[in-house]
Structure 1
């Protein structure tokens, strides 16, 4: 959900950066070779998720990665927006993704890439680009394979879409989220990624922590169960969850209806029941905005989350969202999730991340 809004908010910046960095190449035409760092799949691994970095200048990309590396973070989740990378069929603008991946790898940081945001040409007529699913899952699979071919050995893991259990990220009509169609997306992308880079981890689900509300949202437990029913088993190596909850600490949600912690437990039960108990759930976004709480409370929530998360059976890496506020002092939660303020000064949450990273 958060990333969909970011796509819109950074569109002008992205367009400017892409215009200066775009190159038209076959997706495998790549001469730079920097060995990636592998992502440690332990629940004690702490990363930073930073979707806004896609719209940053080269100087700000490097400054961001220098900051989080200095905090002890060695893995970063980046945004790979299909609508900008392949704006027309067969024309690839890799410049900004190259910049981010090169900069992360040069610092010994592993990369998790989120492949999302279909371009207008790949969606059904009349659909909204970015938030609408592709008209053909095979077209998405081809793009995912092109990404994996280009970044083979340099991007460690890929997420398939972002929060498809919300109409804000999966705008396909009055029926709302479609776990069966999402399962088809996994089945199309998984073999293409593995053929291009057998060592890459493919992460499915990428689910927002929401409760079911008609055609607007579907809770992650129901979504995962319906994914399995549609044949998703065998087409992902791990699942992921975004366990945001602004008013309750993560560790205190065990008995709270539809809390992220209870949803985690439900997802694990679904995985175990389908023979996937050996696979993990990654938390690829978690944060607490300082528009909702003060900075000390933000740090306390992040500390609580990282403390509890690593104790859960089957927990994978946890990524804190995000590096820097868009607009410190704003009343909008999407502007204030950073562990750094807009002026690059640290909030107390930086110390919380350092303590675990």
Structure 2
């Protein structure tokens, strides 16, 4: 999913001078490659991703809950407005803003310049690019930004709004991107295109792409992270979003990929571009917390919420349009506080209650519980329980063996290990 930007916004120009003192240089020789890095055992800041339209409106603001990774749409046709002429001003500024807030940028390439398509007279920005043109652009891109950013091959190529090529052509683009990034930015992560995977036709395209062979190599040989847009069907919620990620992880494993799978977009109620009915604020907050708890417990490396700015096509909004946090936005910061630096210990179901466990420092476990149906249920606090925290961040003391009633909104019980 994406949106059309109406202009660069004056904010980029204002902050550019102050933030671009950072050197635009590639990684030093000998930097560890993305393939060499071990997958973290603890949940790091970059797990908490966010799609942010940096500087695209006068009302642009940065989230108070400080996401550790930010997804930035890189419109190729806005950088290369005529053949061979590149204007990086807007991208420089967006990256600098993200870095100033401590967030790792993920550049998502999208929008082919018309003059780089095979049939310009009948082309759109979703037309597949000529491979040599795409290769030149990615090489220039990776040489400019190096390991400062991660690179996504394309946005949702199985959605005709964004790409009208074939799985075979998308696989060739992946090979080009993988080789280029690994040459100029060996420490950056090469991220496969994102895919919607809720429909059978979506899944067929996804599997066709991942099964492509490029000479003696596979698509899996050219990327460091697989990637989906984890939108479930409009009436579904976080459990179904997790199930999509689990299905996709199994599918890419069958094609020889054993790396992480990112959810580079997730939200709920999405039904194409149709407006989506809002849901109660309490349920929105519950969806945010459940999403990050479930994916963290499943071992996900990154989950990017779509998006910081409000949008009519999804039912969960993090801000009020002026940068103020909604109940769901507050919940994002709360769940980040629960999970950051912990080790996931898995989830279980019992009597309709979902329980996920995380090990923190200092002899502390964090146990997150909620009712799967939303019906309120009684839960006994475990041995060692000392406090309970709601999705709003409210903390109360609770003793071991005491009962608490939980509904759809998760509650975190802090437990001292014996």
Distance 2:170 2:227 in 1: 14
Partner of 2:329: 350
TM-score where L is the length of structure 2: 0.66
Structure 1 position 109 matched with structure 2 position 103: yes
1:280 aligns with 2:260: yes
- Measure, in 2, the Cα distance between the counterparts of 1:338 and 1:34: 34
Distance in 1 separating the partners of 2:38 and 2:98 = 16
Higher strand share: 2
Once the two structures are superposed, what CA deviation does each residue of 1:169-226 show, in whole Å capped at 9, x if it has no partner?
1124xxxxx222111110111111111111110000311233134xxxx22x651354
Match in the other structure for 1:180: 168
1:33 is aligned to 2:23: yes
C-alpha contact 1:54 1:78 (8 A) present in aligned 2:
no
- 1:316-340 residue CA offsets vs partner (Å, 9 max, x unmatched): 21111111225xxxxx316x75411
Change (3 A) 1:40 1:99: farther
Pick closer, same or farther for the CA change 1:222–1:153 going to 2, 3 Å: closer
Paired residues of 1:295 and 1:349 also in contact (CA < 8 A): yes
- Give deviations 1:61-89, integer Å, cap 9, x for gaps: 5x32xxx2x31422211111101011111
Greater relative contact order (Cα < 8 A, sep 6+): 1
In the alignment, structure 1 segments of 5+ residues that lack a partner are 22-29, 173-177, 254-259, 327-331
SS of the residue corresponding to residue 200 of structure 2 reads: coil
**Aligned position for 2:307:** 322
Greater C-alpha radius of gyration: 2
Unaligned runs of 5+ in 2: 15-19, 27-33, 270-275, 337-418
Return the offset for 1:127: 4.0
Q: CA 1:110 to 1:271, structure 2 compared with 1: closer, same or farther past 3 Å? A: same
How many residues align? The count is: 307
Out of 243, 266, 277, the position equivalent to 2:230 is 243
C-alpha distance in structure 2 between counterparts of 1:55 and 1:100, whole Å: 10
CA shift in 2, pair 1:34/1:124, >3 Å = closer
**Which structure carries more helix by proportion?**
1
Runs of 4+, deviation exceeding 6 Å: 16-21, 38-41
Return the offset for 1:113.
1.0
- Within the candidate set 94, 112, 127, 1:132 is matched to 127
After TM superposition, give the deviation of residue 55 of structure 1 in Å.
2.4
Give 1:237 deviation, angstroms.
0.7
Partner Cα distance (2:122, 2:296) in 1: 40
- Hey, what's the Cα distance between the residues in 2 that align with 1:344 and 1:31? 27
**TM-score normalised to the size of structure 1?**
0.76
Give the Cα separation in 1 of the matches to 2:25 and 2:83: 30
Separation in 1, partners of 2:279, 2:72: 26
Looking at structure 2, the residues matched to 92 and 54 of structure 1 have their Cα atoms a distance apart, in angstroms, of 20
How far the C-alpha of 1:106 sits from its partner, in A, is: 2.1
Q: CA RMSD in A?
A: 3.1
| Alignment deviations for residues 251-299 of structure 1 (CA, whole Å, 9 cap, x no partner) | 1x3xxxxxx444323322233223322x000011112367432332222
- Aligned-pair distance for 1:20? 7.2
Q: Measure the CA separation in 2 of the matches of 1:323 and 1:131.
A: 25
